[in-house]
Chains A and B, each alone.
Chain A
Amino acid sequence: MNSSLFQALGIIDCAILRYMGRKHFEVIFTKDEWFFDLLPEATGNSKFELAENSAFLNDFLLDAEDFWQKHNTGQIHSGIWTENTANRQLHLEAIAAYAGGERFIVINNMQHEYKEQQKTLQVARELLISNDKIQAQHQYLNDRLSKVLSQNASLLELNLPIQQAIEHASIGVIITDQKFKPITFNPASWSIFELDPQSADTTPLAIVTDMFDDQFPEIERLKAHRSSWSGDLYWHYPPRYHKWLQCEIHPVMDEGLGLKHWVITLADVTRIKYLLQTNEDLALHDSLTGLPNRQYFWQTLEQSIRAEEHFFVMYVDIDKFKNINELHGHLTGDSMLISVSKRIKKRLQRSDFLARIGADEFAIVIKPSPDIELEPGSDILDRVTDIAAVLREDSRSPHFTERDERCNLPLRIGIASYPADASTTEAIMKAADLALHAAKLFSQDPIQFYSSDLKTASEARLRLESQLREAIAKEQLQVYLQPIYDLSSGRIVKAEALLRWFPTKDSSIGPDVFIPIAEQTGLIYPLGKWVITKVCELLTVFKQHNINIKLAMNVSPRQVSDRHLFEFIKSTAERLGVDAHKLELELTEGVLVDNYNKAQKLLNSLREMGVTIAIDDFGTGYSSLSYLKHLPIDHLKIDRSLISDIDTNEDDRAIVLAILAMATQLRLKVIAEGVETMEQQEFLKQHRCASAQGFYYAKPMPLESFIAFMK
């Protein structure tokens, strides 16, 4: 072949070899000496047999032969490799190709590409390593401090190693009380701000607070909800100082989940930022996803407001993303973030601006654009609503890891509009953040638009949360009991313990309101423990009154993920002398599907102890029934929504009959919930449902009434 043709085509720094079979090649084209340095066996011969001079090339040939056998078109690449020959160091890449019925190996000299790639990755990786070190320090200090502070009555009781770690830490540590009043500063927190603690007229905390007010308006909500935060803040003190600080804030709770302290850690990351600035692309883009970063997003938001454009901000959060990192590791977590970002991007138009603004948070600015044709009669709001719905719908399909493991990454979305909802950058972000927070709270409604009602509801919810915290601390909640009947004998065989909350004499708040709040805030842990203790105490009272029945209690998803749950149940039962066979735990299907491994471990331990298990609200949510075969389950509780229309709704009747048939096959007993009429009871009896509970028999009642009722 004419070498000048290759040169004319711009193919000038490669070698092209035609594959003749079993390590035999013919040199079609090569220009430079490097090729003969690499494969001296080809010197002076157009046809040659590949020797063992390049282990990498020999290895790649196995892939090439495999590829040629299976395909008759296309190519595969080896990736870059470095080869030390007698005369030089080469950076090469091999390609196996199939063209015109013939097989070729092309070896490209990648000297230039290697240098370019190395230059970019060098900066990126230096950043990665610096970041890693800072992150690890933040995490270690926060973990240790949270653990110690949550147990100790006062900071004075901090043990010596922790005190020394704080004193000598290269990152700033500030500890405050629950109201954000400073308690202690370590030396680094002063030196970061170039302050002398003896003579300074301000404190590190005052500076941090000012920076938050200006740069991170979401802080007030985070404080109100006792959430953690991490991110970068810019400290500018003209004319001498300007620094980038990586800041983390964590609440420290006591065992009863009362807020005790805030721990703030600060690290100077100016050098990292400087490195970033040497590469504009890295400065404004997130290195993982390649999307614009928070800084770029903020700039775009400010520009849009200055231009007085009408736009929407969509704040997108991946639900429970932390679990992915915990379950599959951070590398998989990173690849899942890339996968999510690609999925979102696919649904947007060129004029929409997508950024990654937090670990598992994305934000989108959506503006009206002449390039986008809207459906007749629809406007930008319709488009925003459609995008949110499509993103949410897309997120219902699982992502897959490299090992082909399934990851569910549902999205929650908060939306705010400029100028309707807010008129400044800070305010619009606060509004979108509040909407996102609402979307996280209401599992049924993962897309929320900001409204003043939402703000009022958020404030009301905060008040309720605080009341609930107090009610739990003061043990103001009550356990009511509802009997469960054996349908064949008509006898009471069991009771279900149900929580009730009467904030005042004349008012009550339903468990459908306060249990989700307890779940979301973590109050479910102390509350759950209180219920377990109470149920065990009730069983001892039953014994005194010769009431020989089981007592069932509900366990929430978050409790199941608490690895100390089993130990607590066991030790409480033992301490109060309760026969474990008298205890029953009710879990919903969702817990088993979402948290299978933990649920399996817990259920097996409980079974060994003698506790029975019932699946609550059965038939309403999930279709994955395989867990029924593999887990030690005793009862299925048919949800009340299926029972209530059993007389009139053929579909409900069919579902109930199917559950009863399936339970018979699996040797599980069925309890019907919410039975209110004789007709419902008769239907269930006729189809061999084992037990039932509901208003037809008795409403939930306090202990004294229950004892009287039993007698």
Chain B
Amino acid sequence: MIQKKVCILGATGVGKTSLIRQFVEGSFSEKYLTTIGVKIDKKQVDVDQTSTQLLIWDLEGIDRYCGFNPRYLRGTSAFFVVMDQTRSQSLIEGMEILHMARDHTAVPAIMIINKCDLDSAWHWDADSVNQRASEFDNCFYTSAKTGENVEQMFTEIARLSLG
């Protein structure tokens, strides 16, 4: 079976770990628990009758306490940048993270706008989101809580990682 490494990046508290948990275990917890370091999960995805095992590298949220470590992107076939639609600052930080990652890799990138089960911040500017989405290979509005588009985002990254 083909094995592909993919990374999930984003600011603190946007729901990276919850998205993986929903995808791998089908569960969700309301309690926010910060990730330290790296955690790797595996799950098989079928794309066009090709079975691919995704090695999903869940990276600690990038913020003032944890800088961006490009070493973890080595060998990745594609990556997600996750943003939280209830917090507009996570959009700005997500774009900064994309640009930092782009200094090290040209592999496909997917924009994830998470927590779409909640009301978007009333200052969340849809136009600027759409404009920024054009810098990615694809964009999904997801909810780790309801599972909306979670399966789809991982299937899409598997497809993109197969080239």
Contacts and interface: CB of A to CB of B under 8 A. Distances in A.
Interface of A: 55-56, 59, 62-63, 79-84, 91, 93, 114, 117-118, 121-122, 124-126, 128-129, 132-133, 135-137, 139-140, 165, 287-288, 329-332, 334-335, 402-403
B121 interface: yes
10 contacts: A80-B38, A81-B38, A81-B40, A132-B87, A132-B90, A136-B89, A136-B123, A288-B64, A330-B93, A330-B96
Interface residues of B, number: 38
B10 interface: no
Contact of A129 (B12, B36, B37, B103): B12
B129 interface: no
Given A80-B37, A330-B92, 5 more contacts: A125-B61, A125-B65, A133-B121, A331-B62, A402-B68
Interface in B1-19: 5, 12-13
Contact of A287 (B12, B64, B68, B90): B64
Nearest to B61: A125
A56 B86 CA distance: 32
Contacts of A135: 89
A129 B38 contact: no
Given A55-B55, A63-B71, A287-B64, A118 B123 contact: no
Contacts of A114: 36-37
Contact of B39 (A82, A118, A331, A332): A82
A137 B69 CA distance: 31
Interface of B is mostly: loop
Contact of B65 (A79, A83, A124): A124
Contacts of A126: 13, 32
Interface string B13-50: 10000000000000000001110111111000000000
Contacts of A335: 67
Which 3 pairs from chain A and chain B are nearest by CB? A80-B37, A140-B123, A82-B39
A602 B61 CA distance: 39
A82 B37 contact: yes
B74 interface: yes
Interface in B60-112: 61-65, 67-69, 71, 74-75, 86-90, 92-93, 96, 99-100, 103
A117 B86 contact: no
B88 A80 contact: no
Among A79, A91, A287, chain B packs the most CB atoms within 10 A around the CB of A79
B112 to A, nearest CB: 17
Nearest to A140: B123
B34 to A, nearest CB: 5
A129 B13 contact: yes
A126 B33 CA distance: 9
B69 A79 contact: yes
A329 B96 contact: yes
Contact of B75 (A59, A121, A128, A334): A59
A93 B37 CA distance: 9
Contacts of B71: 63
Interface of A is mostly: helix
Contacts of A80: 36-38
A136 B87 contact: yes
Contacts of B74: 59, 62
Among A55, A62, A93, chain B packs the most CB atoms within 10 A around the CB of A55
A186 to B, nearest CB: 14
A79 B72 CA distance: 11
Contacts of B12: 125, 128-129
B103 to A, nearest CB: 7
Among B13, B63, B71, B93, chain A packs the most CB atoms within 10 A around the CB of B63
B85 to A, nearest CB: 12
Among B37, B39, B68, B74, chain A packs the most CB atoms within 10 A around the CB of B37
Contacts of B36: 80, 82, 91, 114, 117-118, 121
A84 B43 CA distance: 13
A118 B40 contact: no
Nearest to A62: B74
A122 B33 contact: yes
B87 A129 contact: yes
Contact of A84 (B13, B41, B55): B41
Contacts of A117: 36
Contacts of A287: 64-65
A287 B13 CA distance: 17
Given A55-B55, A125-B34, A331-B96, A403 B63 contact: no
Nearest to B89: A132
Contacts of A332: 96
A281 to B, nearest CB: 13
Interface string B136-163: 0000000000000000000000000000
A137 B37 CA distance: 31
Contact of A133 (B63, B86, B99, B100): B86
Contacts of B121: 133, 136
B96 A55 contact: no
B147 to A, nearest CB: 21
Contacts of A81: 37-40
A124 B65 CA distance: 9
A55 B39 CA distance: 10
B45 to A, nearest CB: 16
A165 B121 CA distance: 12
A431 B92 CA distance: 38
Among A93, A330, A335, chain B packs the most CB atoms within 10 A around the CB of A330
B122 A402 contact: no
Contact of A165 (B13, B92, B122): B122
Given A129-B13, A137-B123, A331-B93, A82 B38 contact: yes
A592 to B, nearest CB: 26
A265 to B, nearest CB: 13
Nearest to A133: B87
A122 B103 CA distance: 30
Nearest to A332: B96
A121 B41 contact: no
Contacts of A128: 12-13, 63-64
B113 to A, nearest CB: 16
Nearest to B41: A84
Given A55-B40, A136-B89, A121 B13 contact: no
A83 B37 CA distance: 11
A122 B34 contact: yes
B13 A125 contact: yes
Contact of A55 (B5, B32, B100): B5
A309 B56 CA distance: 59
B63 A125 contact: yes
B49 to A, nearest CB: 24
B42 to A, nearest CB: 8
A125 B16 CA distance: 14
B27 to A, nearest CB: 14
A120 B90 CA distance: 21
A246 to B, nearest CB: 15
B140 to A, nearest CB: 22
B72 to A, nearest CB: 8
Contacts of A330: 92-93, 96
Given A124-B65, A136-B87, A83 B40 contact: yes
Contacts of A402: 67-68, 100
Nearest to B71: A63
Contacts of A63: 71
